[in-house]
Structure 1
Amino acid sequence: MEEKGFPAFGTGCASLLSRHLTRRVWEELKDLETGSGYTAADLIRSGVEQQESSVGVYAGDAESYDLFSPLLTPVVREYHGNAGPHPAPDYSLAHLPELSVSAARKIISTRVRVGRNLAGFPLGPAISPGQRREVEERIKAALTRLPEHLQGTYHPLPEMDPALRDDLIERHLLFKNEDRFLLSAGLMRDWPEARGLFLSHDEAFSVWVNEEDQLRIISLQKGGDVTEVFKRLADGVAALSSHLDFLTHPRLGSLTSCPTNLGTAMRASVHMKLKGLAEDEEALHKTANALGLQVRGIHGEHSEGRGGIYDISNRMRLGVTEAAALGHLIDGIARLALLDDEASAS
């Protein structure tokens, strides 16, 4: 920080925070504080400490999105292409496009998740240890009331056998505390207390408790049956919604700590073999971006593709329904599969 508190960004910093945090905006926000005690300095800490961030801000509570709106609204608008309003949820299957044969052959696994947080509590960056424990207890109680096909076991992280933990992490079923962006945002405080994993008996449905968001509700399976994975997720969200009061905003939909997840808070993704397009990763990223998709390595954000296998997901979350976002992903991966076939044949 400079002497008057305005953060210094390096010449290579291209985050949304660095673009939208002007001195005028900082002067307007720097002395404000939410009812949870969350300040503008807290809001931007991750993006200041980790200047490779693409966004750089994490909200501490629902009030953050209104109190700090001179900064957050432009960030939200640039990332999502809009700042609301967000439509009502829609998990219907009737109008989903069919997955192309070529895309289905290239998909290794499919995963759809949503983030949720509980009404009446701060978000992860501002939550207290006691509040985090209460959130965990409420979620655990709701998980015992899931329908039969989603039932399973809750595994508290502090009690988890290290061998089991390592196995679950290796199979992408469990989160870690190694993300430096989340660490800077305060999301890994008091680790691993009041964190855990719910895993269904068939391992096709899971809930991460008190990671980046208080719930990450996840449906996943091998292969490319996107519709089946989506339906299972919808069943889980509906069941948990009947026992938990989730945090929402009249304009922004589901509220999350990171503004990129607002709206549906849904990320639908496939691990996909794209060996032809892998020959030019820069072109792959540009093509995917033009299709409204994101490309990551198979080990998540900030990782690289290996062996021509990539994680492809929807970028659209705010201002669209869940069904529309999934349909957009299906159309996009069909286009990538076609381009990959052409690249492999040339």
Structure 2
Amino acid sequence: MSVGCVAGDAQSYILFCDFFDRIIEAYHGQKVTSQTPESDFNYDNLKGGNDLDRSYAVRCEVSVVRGIEDFSFPTHCSRGERRQLLTLARRVEVNQLTSIFLLLALQRLQEEELPGHLLLLEELNQEQQRELNMNLDHPSSSQLRTGVARDWPDARAVWVSKDGSLVVWVNMEDHLRLVSMRDDANIAEAFKCICINLQKLEEYYKALRHPFICKQQLGWVTSSPADVGTGLRITVHLKLQHLPKHKRLQDVLKRLRIRMDKTETPALYCVSNIATFGPSEVELTQLVVDGVKLLITMETRLEGNQDIDELVPTQK
């Protein structure tokens, strides 16, 4: 399911709140109130996530998106702005521009404890794209629809840590997208990596007087209403043979508040959270961890020709 709309800048959520609030409530199933959504980056509060059955859990990915205060979202950014951002970033001139702040922030991150390098999208070769597990020669259909693919791949970039634990996308669908992928399906470690490095980048941006965009009623906001609140996505790839065919699967997924999509690989499914608004970061991650464990338990039951009705959770 798609929300079917994007915002050109953070102010759009205020000026057109009657529209965006209804979209957010319908998509996330959570009422927009005057209270700021709870935030929790204490990864030690997460229970489990490092103990998924590797017979079923193939890999995992934790990602988070952020917008930078005082700048239009990539959906509304002009070619001149984007080129100016990149030109000044490469020259490392001191100016109040997003890409410069990103470069400085990532340099700070690298200097402290996470070495890495910044690559321009237009300079990535096929081998580098395979390492990133993405085909970036052509923009996706969603990028074309939302307008972020204008002048592709002009002024887009990606920062990759030397150990491969963290990738930061720049000027794509959003100003920043941090991604931690693990082939051992260790959600706990991926979540920890995101929490630690996101908070460091947040501190650097605050020091540069351009913090991440946060609105009182919505929490963190970016171009898509589907990402407001936490901007957090937890994804696990599962090998499942029997459960996808079960008649109660959709009911189970609805009660667990997660989604399951097919991949190009037979019997491999992508499980992730639907909402990002309402629960805290730890709560969302816990929701996916618990949901994945239950799906695996159901799969093992079905393998032994056992019934799973008693495992179906009550409506949350």
For normalisation by structure 1, the TM-score amounts to: 0.76
- Residue 211 (1) aligns with residue 166 (2): no
- Residue 68 (1) aligns with residue 16 (2): yes
1:186-265 mapped onto 2 (5 Å cutoff): 186-244=147-205, 245-265=211-231
Quick one: distance in 2 between partners of 1:311 and 1:88?
27
- The equivalent residue for 2:313 is none
User: Is the Cα–Cα contact under 8 Å of residues 183 and 189 in structure 1 kept in the other structure?
Assistant: yes
1:93-172 mapped onto 2 (5 Å cutoff): 93-99=43-49, 103-132=53-82, 133=85, 134-146=97-109, 148-160=112-124, 162-169=125-132, 171-172=133-134
Which amino acid counterpart does residue 308 of structure 1 have in structure 2? Answer: A
1:28-79 CA-partner distances (Å, limit 9, x unpaired)? xxxxxxxxxxxxxxxxxxxxxxxxx632110111111122222211110011
Which of 230, 236, 255 is the equivalent residue of 1:270?
A: 236
| 2:181 aligned counterpart, secondary structure | strand
Quick one: distance in 1 between partners of 2:8 and 2:172?
14
Q: Any stretches of 5+ residues in structure 2 without a counterpart? A: 86-96, 206-210, 306-316
Which amino acid counterpart does residue 155 of structure 1 have in structure 2? Answer: L
Runs of 4+ off more than 3 Å: 99-105, 174-178, 282-286
- Residue 336 (1) aligns with residue 286 (2): no
| 2:204 aligned counterpart, secondary structure | coil
- CA displacement at 1:102 relative to structure 2: 6.0
Q: Name the CA shift for 1:285/1:166 in 2 (closer, same or farther; >3 Å).
A: farther
Which amino acid counterpart does residue 119 of structure 1 have in structure 2? Answer: E
Quick one: distance in 1 between partners of 2:265 and 2:254?
20
Which amino acid counterpart does residue 329 of structure 1 have in structure 2? Answer: V
Quick one: distance in 2 between partners of 1:259 and 1:177?
25
- CA displacement at 1:136 relative to structure 2: 2.4
- CA displacement at 1:99 relative to structure 2: 4.3
User: Is the Cα–Cα contact under 8 Å of residues 103 and 333 in structure 1 kept in the other structure?
Assistant: no
- CA displacement at 1:88 relative to structure 2: 4.0
- Residue 315 (1) aligns with residue 279 (2): no
Which amino acid counterpart does residue 315 of structure 1 have in structure 2? Answer: I
Q: Name the CA shift for 1:105/1:96 in 2 (closer, same or farther; >3 Å).
A: farther
- The equivalent residue for 1:295 is 260
| 1:289 aligned counterpart, secondary structure | helix
| 1:310 aligned counterpart, secondary structure | strand
Which structure has more relative contact order (CA 8 Å, sep 6+)? It is: 2
Quick one: distance in 1 between partners of 2:147 and 2:81?
15
Q: Any stretches of 5+ residues in structure 1 without a counterpart? A: 1-52, 298-303
User: Is the Cα–Cα contact under 8 Å of residues 168 and 176 in structure 2 kept in the other structure?
Assistant: yes
Q: Name the CA shift for 1:165/1:98 in 2 (closer, same or farther; >3 Å).
A: closer
Quick one: distance in 2 between partners of 1:176 and 1:291?
37
Size of the alignment, in residue pairs?
284
1:152-171 CA-partner distances (Å, limit 9, x unpaired)? 111011222x32344235x2
| 1:326 aligned counterpart, secondary structure | helix
Q: Name the CA shift for 1:176/1:323 in 2 (closer, same or farther; >3 Å).
A: farther
1:254-297 CA-partner distances (Å, limit 9, x unpaired)? 111110100000001111112221335x7544422321112223
User: Is the Cα–Cα contact under 8 Å of residues 116 and 265 in structure 1 kept in the other structure?
Assistant: yes
